[in-house]
């Protein structure tokens, strides 16, 4: 369980005397017109009409009336065959996009037969060793109609090449497929730990995917900057947005220095933001993020086209908001997280299933999450009008205050030399880790309320609810390794060696490696073999001390 929630100061009669949001904003008892005047609110500059700069309300004039949010539940476990079956089940139930989970060995560029992968093959996501695995996982999926998120970072370039290769094998042109690899290595170094290569070559690889995608796969979003995991690691909502924008600026700089204008590629940079904690703070966070991203693109990078300035992405998840205690109430938490995402204007959303604090979701729990999103869309009325909270004295004041907090955090990163320096030196990692510690101490003291954890802890009949665990089956690794060995026996190993050598030469010469990865993937080179080439050329990231 991560950070999340407002701090409430109460008197001896349990009356609330002060409310302080995580981002440091003090909340008044009530709001009126004078509050908008105090924060300098101007409709045209701060809000504007839906679909018009600065896009605070929506990037589309019709909002959800013109197009509902994409529902993209996080899915993947065990073998590619098992994952394919879950994909098809969720699509049959109305899911409109895929979001693929990969196991830890794949995320770290290890093949399933690597000794370091023992015990982790297929455990927290789908195991992928070669193109054969993608062929199985995406068999029967209409890749021209279903967009796919690939939750992978250090080896995102390899997975993107695999996605193109499998699409072509199934008859789809790269021009029509839509993939969104997470591909955000800086957030891994801040908040999650699935890194491989040092900062500079990692950013270079991200630049390669952006440059390649704009030419070969124009519907692909080659980067999904992930404030989500930074937030789960201890960042405040304001820091989540600030750090994400600064990370995106680092990737933009990499591509601009290659001679491209921001209007040529920035619309392919999307975001993945978290949603848990106080509902109003989350809504204000999303609205402020849309505005600040548009201003950042226009004022810092000289964007001219409206679509370049659209903040697009997935708002959802909320995994750190869930509890192992009284897990069934996570169904309710998920519904409120989904509500916050919808009120905040998400283009794509997904919510964690109620059992994710324990295990990989069952079809039952995954379907509850999907039905929750569908209920909000088709029954509750979230598609009725654009930005229904617009004009609220409280929400507009809070959005302006959130904007100022985000700008303060961005300025701090600028002062120390940018996000690349902040990550290399461990500055951000130290700050976020300290905040997570302080929040948990506050939880223990009762300054933050978590139902079932430090208030209303007697579960009563809720304690009778059993969570069905997804038991790890050793046969997954055996089956995967057997499949990998079969591929190695049947492939043209001379062609594999040639492709890996070409990849090494391209990497050493600083070329865009994507065309060479595509050829290696099509020759059925393994993830581990391609990763080893990069390790030999680039080296490995050395984590800075955060203590």
Compute CA distances 481 → 118, 471, 477, 485, 493, whole Å.
11, 19, 6, 6, 18
Does residue 131 sit in helix, strand or coil? helix
- pTM, two decimals, is 0.95
Walking along the chain (547 residues) 10 residues at a time, the average pLDDT comes out as 75 92 96 97 95 96 92 87 93 92 96 96 94 98 95 97 98 97 97 94 98 97 96 95 98 98 97 95 98 98 97 90 91 95 94 86 90 94 96 98 98 97 95 92 88 91 76 87 97 98 98 98 98 98 81
Taking the C-alpha atoms of residue 369 and residue 338, their distance in angstroms, rounded to an integer, is 9
What pLDDT, on the 0 to 100 scale, is given for residue 466?
A: 73
Instruction: Delineate the domains of the chain, giving CATH numbers in brackets.
Output: 30-464 (3.20.20.240)
Give the whole-angstrom CA distance, residue 86 versus residue 467: 19
Contacts 24+ apart (CB under 8 A), 536-541: 536/504, 537/201, 537/504, 537/507, 537/508, 538/197, 538/198, 538/201, 538/202, 538/507, 539/197, 539/198, 539/201, 540/196, 540/197, 540/198, 541/189, 541/195, 541/196, 541/197, 541/198, 541/199, 541/202
Integer CA distances (angstroms), 506 to 128, 485, 511, 526, 536, in order: 24, 28, 5, 18, 13
pLDDT of residue 64: 93
**Are β-strands 223-226 and 269-274 bridged in parallel, bridged antiparallel, or unpaired?**
parallel
What pLDDT is stored for residue 73 in this prediction?
85
DSSP assignment of 372-418 equals HHHHIIIII-TTSSSSTTTT-HHHHHHHHHHHHHHHHHHHHHHHTT-
pLDDT of residue 1: 47
Q: Are 216 and 164 in contact (CB under 8 A)?
A: yes
């Amino acid at each position: 369980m991560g950070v999340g929630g407002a701090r409430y100061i109460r008197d001896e009669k349990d009356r609330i005397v002060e409310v302080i949001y995580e981002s440091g904003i003090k909340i008044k008892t009530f709001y009126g017109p004078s509050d908008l005047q105090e924060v300098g609110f101007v409709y045209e500059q701060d809000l504007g009409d839906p679909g018009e700069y600065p896009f605070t309300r929506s990037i589309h004039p019709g909002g959800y009336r013109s197009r509902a949010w994409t529902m993209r539940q996080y899915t993947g476990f065990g073998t590619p065959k098992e994952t394919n079956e879950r994909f098809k089940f969720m699509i049959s139930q109305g899911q409109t996009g895929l979001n693929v989970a990969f196991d830890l060995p794949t995320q770290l560029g290890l093949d399933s037969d690597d000794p370091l992968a023992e015990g982790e093959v297929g455990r927290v996501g789908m195991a992928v060793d070669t193109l054969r695995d993608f062929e199985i996982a995406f068999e029967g999926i209409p890749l021209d109609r279903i967009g796919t998120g690939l939750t992978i970072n250090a080896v995102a370039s390899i997975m993107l090449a695999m996605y193109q290769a499998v699409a072509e094998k199934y008859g789809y042109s790269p021009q029509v497929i839509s993939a969104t690899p997470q591909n955000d290595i800086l957030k891994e170094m801040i908040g999650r730990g699935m890194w491989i290569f040092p900062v500079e070559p990692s950013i270079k690889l991200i630049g390669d995917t952006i440059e390649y995608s704009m030419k070969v796969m124009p519907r692909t979003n080659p980067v999904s900057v992930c404030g989500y995991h930074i937030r789960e690691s201890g960042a405040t909502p304001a820091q989540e947005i600030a750090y994400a924008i600064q990370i995106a600026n680092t990737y933009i700089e990499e591509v601009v220095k290659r001679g491209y204008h921001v209007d040529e590629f920035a619309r392919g940079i999307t975001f993945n933001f978290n949603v848990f904690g106080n509902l109003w703070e989350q809504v204000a966070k999303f609205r402020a993020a849309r505005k600040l991203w548009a201003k950042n693109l226009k004022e810092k990078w000289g964007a001219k086209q409206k679509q370049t300035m659209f903040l697009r992405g997935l708002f959802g998840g909320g995994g750190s908001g869930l509890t192992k205690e009284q897990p069934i109430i996570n169904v309710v938490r998920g519904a409120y997280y989904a509500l916050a995402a919808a009120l905040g204007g998400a283009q794509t959303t997904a919510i964690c299933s109620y059992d994710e604090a324990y295990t990989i979701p069952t079809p039952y729990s995954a379907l509850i999450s999907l039905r929750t999103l569908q209920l909000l869309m088709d029954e509750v009325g979230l598609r009725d009008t654009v930005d229904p909270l617009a004009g609220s004295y409280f929400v507009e004041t809070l959005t302006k205050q959130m904007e100022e907090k985000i700008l303060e955090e961005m300025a701090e990163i600028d002062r120390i030399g940018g996000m690349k320096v902040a990550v290399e030196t461990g500055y951000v990692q130290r700050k976020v880790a300290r905040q997570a510690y302080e929040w948990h101490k506050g939880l223990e003291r009762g300054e933050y309320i978590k139902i079932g954890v430090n208030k209303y802890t007697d579960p009563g009949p809720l304690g009778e609810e059993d969570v069905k665990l997804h038991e790890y089956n050793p046969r997954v690794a055996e089956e995967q390794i057997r499949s990998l060995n079969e591929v190695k026996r049947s492939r043209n190993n001379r062609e594999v060696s040639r492709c890996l050598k070409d990849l090494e030469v391209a990497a050493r010469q600083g070329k865009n490696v994507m065309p060479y990865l595509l050829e290696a993937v099509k020759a059925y080179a393994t993830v581990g073999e391609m990763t080893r080439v990069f390790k030999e050329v680039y080296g490995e990231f050395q984590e800075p001390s955060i203590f």
